[in-house]
Amino acid sequence: MQDSRKHPREHLEEYCLLIDAESNVPIGEILDMSREGLRIEAGSPIAEMTCLQCKLRLPRPVDGRNEIIFNAWCVWCEKNNDNVTYQAGLRIASISATDADVLAKFLQTAVATPNSR
């Protein structure tokens, strides 16, 4: 399968939790992310083509914001080798201009450098 990403996902240096914006229930931990999508580790499977209403709690404020809200489609989901957790790829479907700006600023400072991995 060819990788069609315009922006490569970057490994995050900081712990980030993705939460269901409607129920406030955690969806999973973000493993890597770009302005267009993310890969998460989740405790339960997510059906492909499911649209999730997501809230990303930022580990530190960015422009005075502690969280951003967006909708994302689940593109794929696979069981991990541990047979307990799952990894899923999500594509951001809609995000406000303000939240997109906050996300871009967060990603500039949250990615792991090669020496910190």
Instruction: CATH number of the domain at 65, please.
Output: 2.40.10.220
Question: If 0-12 CB within 10 Å is exposed, 13-18 middle and 19+ buried, where does residue 93 land?
Answer: middle
* Paired tokens of 44: 């339960």
| pTM of the entire predicted model | 0.84
78 in any annotated domain: yes
Question: Does residue 95 belong to any structural domain of this protein?
Answer: yes
In what helix (H) or strand (E) does residue 3 lie, and over which residues does it extend?
A: none
Q: What is the pLDDT of residue 53?
A: 98
Indicate whether 4 belongs to any domain.
Answer: no
**Banded pLDDT at 8 (limits 50, 70, 90):** low
Backbone angles phi, psi at 19, to 5 degrees: -125, 145
Here the tokens at position 12 are 């995050």
pLDDT tier for residue 41 given thresholds of 50, 70 and 90: very high
Residue 60 lies in a domain: yes
Number of domains in the chain: 1
Q: What percent of the chain has pLDDT over 70?
A: 85
Domain that holds residue 43: 16-108
Residues 48, 77 contacting (CB under 8 angstroms): yes
